[in-house]
Amino acid sequence: MKILQIDSARFGSLSIDTPVILEEGLNLWIAENQSGKTTLLTFLEWMLFGPASKRGAKDPQAIKRWTPWIGGTPSGRLVIKPELDGWPEKILVTARFSDYFVQVSEYSTQRSLTDKVTVSKHGEWDLGRRLLNLSRQSFRHSLSATQANVIETLDRSNLRQILTSDLGELVENPDVTTVDRIIEALENPRFTLGDSPPRNMREHRMHLAKELDYLKLEQGQLSQQLNEYHELQKERDSVLSQLEQQDRVILGLEKQRDQLELARNHYLHKVASGELQPAVSTEPEPSAAITADLAHEVDVLYGKLEALEQQISRVEQEISALNISYESAQKLNSDQPDERQGGDTRQLLQQVSAAVETAHREYTVAADRAKRLEDQIPEAEKNRYQSLDKMFAPHREHLSSILEWEEEHSKVTTELEKLRERKVELEIVNRDELPWWSYLGFVCVFMAFLSIIAHYSFMPHMVREILPFAGWIIAAVFLVVAGFLLFPYLRRARTTGPAYTELQNSVLPAMEEQTQKMDQLNRRRMRFIELYKIDRQNWDRLVENIKDYISLDVRFREYSSAIRDRDTIRRRMEAAWTEVGQIEPLAPLAPDMDWLRNMIRKLAEAPSVISGNKFDIRELETQISVQNRELGRLAQERDQISRALEAKLQPIGFASKLREGPRAAMEAFRNLATNVRSGHREAPAQPTDPLLLGKPSLEIAEFNERWAALSPTEQNRLALLCRDKVSHDSVCNRLSELDKKIHEARDSRESIRRALDHIRDGMHRFGNIDKVAREMKQRSEHAGRLDKLVHNWDEALATTREIVQSLVNRASSDTAPEIDRAMKSILANAPIKGIEDASLDSNLSLRLRVTGAPADIPSHELWTYMSTGAQQQLALALRLAMARTASGRTDLPLMLDEPLADLDDERAELVFNYITDLSDTTQIIVTTCHQQLYDWLRERRQERVNLMSMPVG
C-alpha cells in the first residue's frame, strides 16, 4: 500500500487545501513549527483507522481536541494505492471525523465501495486493517514514529505489542476481554477482532458492581428511614410525657379553682342567709370642689376633642371624593404622557407634599409618644433593653421555643450538678481508707483464740492451778485491744454499705436519665439551630439573655411598640422626601416642611408650563393638597388636646382607662363627676366582673352536697379563706388569675397535642416499619452475596489476564523466526556499518555481532552499547521487519517525524543515508523543520528526493 496524494486536510493545526502528491520513494516534508508536522502522522492514522476510541466507546473529547484551528470540523481526503487483489488501482478515502463518517470510492470512476470498509459501534473503522493487515496499536509502534521515538522498538515488550496487538489489547484493555475471544486466540493468535457478540466479562462484573452500589444505596436509605422513625418515636415519647405533665397541671389548677369556688359560695350563701353582714366600704370620697372644677375643665377639653374628630372625619371624606375625581380625570387624559414626566416642578411637588406632610405629622406624634415613654425609663435599663431587642429582633417568633429549651436545660443542668456532687460525696465515703494499725485488730482476735487454746493445751498444770483463768484473761485483753483497733472498721462498714447502695440504686440511674435528657436537649438545640438559622455562638447569647429580655419586654412593651411605630413612620417619611429630592435637586437632605411649603408657594406664583387638557387635573391636585394641609392642622390640634386631657386625667388614677382610649376614660370620669355634682354618697357602681357581682355560682342544694363531702378540717380552711369582703375580693381575683392560667394551659396542651399529631403523621408516613426493617435485612444479605460474587469475578478476570499474557508470549515467540528472516532480508539490501550479523531468538531478544566489540559483552545486550545513530538505523530495520511479519506484506509506507532529532551531523548523515537506502523498496514520509540540515544532507548524498513544503490554507 502506498499513499499517493493528500487532497485536503483540516485537522488541528494541519490545514491543506491544495492537493499534495507523494512519490513511492523518499518524501521530505519541510515546514515551520506549529504548522502541523506531527499532526500529519496522526491525521494519516485517523484516515486509516478512524477516530480513536476510549475504553471501547466513542470519545468526543478526542475529536474536539483535533478541531481545525481555522474553524470547521475535522475532515480529510486521501488517495491511496492499495496494491491488493480485488481492489481498484486507486481509491479515494473521504472522512468526516465529527460524524464518524468514512467513504471509500474508486478514484477514476468515483464509484462507492461500501464493502471495503466497516464502521464499528465505537466509531473506528477497519480500512487500515484491510489495507495493511495491522491493528491500530501495531501501526503506531511500527510504521509511525513521532519525535525521535524510533529506538523504542528495540524494547522486547514493544516487539510483543506490535506482533500481537490483538492479544495485547485483551491485556491492556480489559473492556474487550471475553471468553470467546480467548478461545479464538488459542486457535489462531493472529485473529481479527471485528464485532464480537459474546457477553463481556468485565461488563458483567461492572453490572454486578453497579447493582451492588445500588443495593448499598437502598440499604443506606432504609437505614436512614429507620433512624428517622426511631427519632420520631423518641420525640413522640417526649411529647407524650409533656402532654401528661400538662394534664396534671390543668387538673391541679382546676382543683384549686374548685376549692376557691367552694370558699366563695360558702361566703355568699352565709351572707344571703343573714349569718354574715357585708362590710361597709371605708374608702374616702373624692373632694367635691376639686372634682367639680376638674370635671368642668375635662368636659370642655373633651367637647373640643369631639368637635375636632368630626371635622377630621369631614375633611377625610372630602379628600376621598377629590381622589376619586382625580383618578377619573387621569383616565380621561390617559392619551397624554405621564404626569411625572410632562408636569412641571410645582405639580410634582404638590403630588409628593401630601405624603410628606402626612408622614411628618404622624412621625411627630409617634416621636412625642416615644419620648414621653422613654423619659419614664431609667437610662441603664433602657440601654440594656435596646441592645437585647436588637439581638432578639430576628428571632422574635421563636422566643417561646428558646425559652422552653432554656428552662429545661437549666433544670437538667442543676439536677446533674446536684447528682455529681452527691456522687463525689458517696465516692469519697467508699474510698475512705482505714489506718494501717486498724488491721492489727484482726491479729488481736486471732491471738485471743490462740490464748484460749493454749490455756487448755500448752499451759502447765501448776500455772492453771494458780491462775485457773489465765488464758481467758489474756484472750479478754486481746479482744479489748481488737475492739479498740477495729472500731474505725466497724464504723466504716456501717456507713459504706448505705452509701454504696445509694450510689448504685439512686444516683447513677438518675445521672444516666438526666444525661439522656441532656442529649435530647442537645439534639433539639441542633435542630433549632438548623431550623432557625442561628449559629452556636448567637444561640448561647440568646439562651443566656432570654429571661432578662422577656422580663424587660413585658415591662417596656408599650415603649418598644412606640419605638417601632416611630421608626416605621420615619422610614416612610424619608422615602417620601427622597422623591422630593429627585424632583428638586436643591432640596435639603433632611425633611424640612417649611422649605417645601415655601417652594410650592414660589412655584405657584410663576406661570405653569402645563395648559389645555391638564387644567382640571392641576386644580384637583391643588384642592387635595389644601385639604391634606387642613387635615394635618386638625390632627395637630387633636393631639395637643389629647395630651392636655391626658395630663388632667392621669394624676387622679385614670391611666389604665386612657390606654383604652379617651372615650372610655371620659365615661369613667363622668360617672365619678356625676356623683360629686349630685352631692349624694351613692354606692359605687357594681363591678362588671361576673366574679365580683356577689351572686353564688352554685345552687344551695349542690353547694350543701359538695360542702358536706369535705372533711371538717377542709371546711374550716375554706371558711377562713373567704370570710369577709376583702378576702372575697382576693378570692375573686385569684379565680380570675386561675381562669387565665387554665386557659393558657389548655392552649399549651392543644399546641402539644398538635405537635403529637404532626409526629404521628410523620410516623404513619413510613408505613409498616417492620417491613422496612425486613427489606433492609434482605438488602444487606443480597449485598453481601453480590460483594462475594464481584470478588470472584475480579479473581476470574485476573486469571484471564494471566492466561492472555501467556498467549501473547507464546504467539510472539512463534513468529520470532519469521521476524528474523525479514530483518536479515532488510539488512542485506540496506546494511548498517559495523554490524556483521543480527538475529532474533525465540524470546524476541535481539542478538548482534559487531565489529570490534569486546567478547565479554553478551550479544543480547550489545545493542545498548552502540551509538545513537546505529541504534536508529537498527530500529528502522526492525520496525519494517516487524510490520512486514505482522501484516504479511512488504509494500508498507513508513512515516517518520524528526527522525534526526538530537543527533550530531555525523550520526545524522548516517541515519539519513540509511533512510535513503530503505526508500529504494519502501515509501517513506519524513517531516521536519530543519531545512538547512536536510539540504546539506541531500547535497552530500546527491540523491533525488521529493522535496515538499507544508501548504498552509
pLDDT in tens, 425-439: 777 666 555 566 666
Of 25-34, 90-99, 169-178, least confident by mean pLDDT is 169-178
DSSP-assigned letters across all residues of 788-823: HHHHHHHHHHHHHHHHHHHHHHHHHHHTHHHHHHHH
Are 5 and 19 spatial neighbours (Cβ–Cβ below 8 Å)?
yes
Residue 80 forms beta bridges with which residues?
Answer: 3, 91
Q: Is the confidence at residue 743, as pLDDT, over 50? A: yes
Are 83 and 94 spatial neighbours (Cβ–Cβ below 8 Å)?
no
What value does the mean pLDDT take over residues 395-414?
79
What value does the mean pLDDT take over residues 562-574?
81
CB contact burial 287-326 (16+ within 10 A = b; e otherwise): eeeebeebbeebeebbebbeebeebbeebeeebeebeeeb
Of 447-456, 527-536, 867-876, 929-938, least confident by mean pLDDT is 527-536
- Count CA atoms closer than 13 A to 719's CA, side-chain side: 13
Distance CA 940, CA 913 (A): 10
Q: What is the pLDDT of residue 484?
A: 76
Of 7-11, 304-308, 908-912, least confident by mean pLDDT is 304-308
Q: What is the pLDDT of residue 168?
A: 41
What value does the mean pLDDT take over residues 364-392?
78
Distance CA 523, CA 514 (A): 14
Q: Taking Cα atoms as reference points, which of 912, 910, 844, 929 lies closest to residue 882? A: 844
Question: Of 110-114, 532-536, 823-827, 912-916, where does the model show the most confidence?
Answer: 110-114
Q: Is the confidence at residue 448, as pLDDT, over 80? A: yes
Q: Is the confidence at residue 224, as pLDDT, over 60? A: yes
Tally Cβ neighbours within 10 Å of residue 401: 14
pLDDT in tens, 47-72: 999 998 876 678 888 888 889 988 88
pLDDT in tens, 475-530: 888 888 887 776 666 666 566 667 777 878 888 888 888 888 888 888 888 877 77
Are 346 and 584 spatial neighbours (Cβ–Cβ below 8 Å)?
no
Q: What is the pLDDT of residue 491?
A: 64
Percent of the chain with pLDDT over 70: 72
Q: How far apart are the first and last CA of the chain?
A: 28
Q: Is the confidence at residue 445, as pLDDT, over 90? A: no
Q: What is the pLDDT of residue 79?
A: 93
What value does the mean pLDDT take over residues 618-626?
77
Q: What is the pLDDT of residue 548?
A: 75
Distance CA 454, CA 442 (A): 18
What value does the mean pLDDT take over residues 379-386?
76
pLDDT in tens, 643-697: 777 777 766 655 555 555 566 666 666 665 555 444 444 444 444 344 444 677 7
- Sign of the Cα pseudo-torsion (761, 764, 769, 770, in order): positive
Question: Of 397-406, 655-664, 916-925, where does the model show the most confidence?
Answer: 916-925
Q: What is the pLDDT of residue 554?
A: 64
Distance CA 542, CA 553 (A): 14
Mean pLDDT of the chain, nearest integer: 74
* Top-confidence residue, 705 or 775: 705
Per-residue CA distances from 546 to 393, 402, 536, 564, 774 (Å) = 12, 8, 15, 20, 47
Distance CA 482, CA 613 (A): 127
506490535: which residue's cell?
162
- Sign of the Cα pseudo-torsion (321, 324, 325, 326, in order): positive
Of 131-135, 457-461, 593-597, 930-934, least confident by mean pLDDT is 457-461
Distance CA 705, CA 657 (A): 43
Q: What is the pLDDT of residue 949?
A: 59
Distance CA 26, CA 375 (A): 107
Q: Is the confidence at residue 611, as pLDDT, over 50? A: no
What value does the mean pLDDT take over residues 932-952?
70
Q: What is the pLDDT of residue 102?
A: 92
Q: How many residues does the chain have?
A: 953
As a whole number of angstroms, the longest Cα–Cα distance in the chain is: 158
Q: What is the pLDDT of residue 732?
A: 83
How many helices (H) and strands (E) the chain has is answered by 31, 13
Are 392 and 505 spatial neighbours (Cβ–Cβ below 8 Å)?
no
Would you place residue 196 in the very low, low, confident or very high pLDDT band (cuts 50, 70, 90)? very low
* Top-confidence residue, 282 or 413: 413
Q: What is the pLDDT of residue 93?
A: 94
* Top-confidence residue, 275 or 336: 275
Would you place residue 75 in the very low, low, confident or very high pLDDT band (cuts 50, 70, 90)? very high
Distance CA 448, CA 454 (A): 10
Are 599 and 584 spatial neighbours (Cβ–Cβ below 8 Å)?
yes
Would you place residue 625 in the very low, low, confident or very high pLDDT band (cuts 50, 70, 90)? confident
Per-residue CA distances from 584 to 498, 505, 611, 709, 896 (Å) = 90, 84, 22, 85, 82
Which three-class secondary structure state does DSSP give residue 833? coil
What value does the mean pLDDT take over residues 890-899?
83
Sorted by sequence, the CB contacts under 8 Å of residue 238 that are 6+ apart come out as 520
Sorted by sequence, the CB contacts under 8 Å of residue 135 that are 6+ apart come out as 129, 165, 166, 169, 193
Q: What is the pLDDT of residue 830?
A: 80
352536697: which residue's cell?
705
Q: What is the pLDDT of residue 672?
A: 58
Q: Is the confidence at residue 304, as pLDDT, over 70? A: yes
What value does the mean pLDDT take over residues 331-336?
52
Q: What is the pLDDT of residue 134?
A: 81
Q: What is the pLDDT of residue 620?
A: 74
Would you place residue 798 in the very low, low, confident or very high pLDDT band (cuts 50, 70, 90)? low
Q: What is the pLDDT of residue 681?
A: 41
Distance CA 821, CA 72 (A): 48
Q: What is the pLDDT of residue 268?
A: 84
Distance CA 402, CA 542 (A): 8
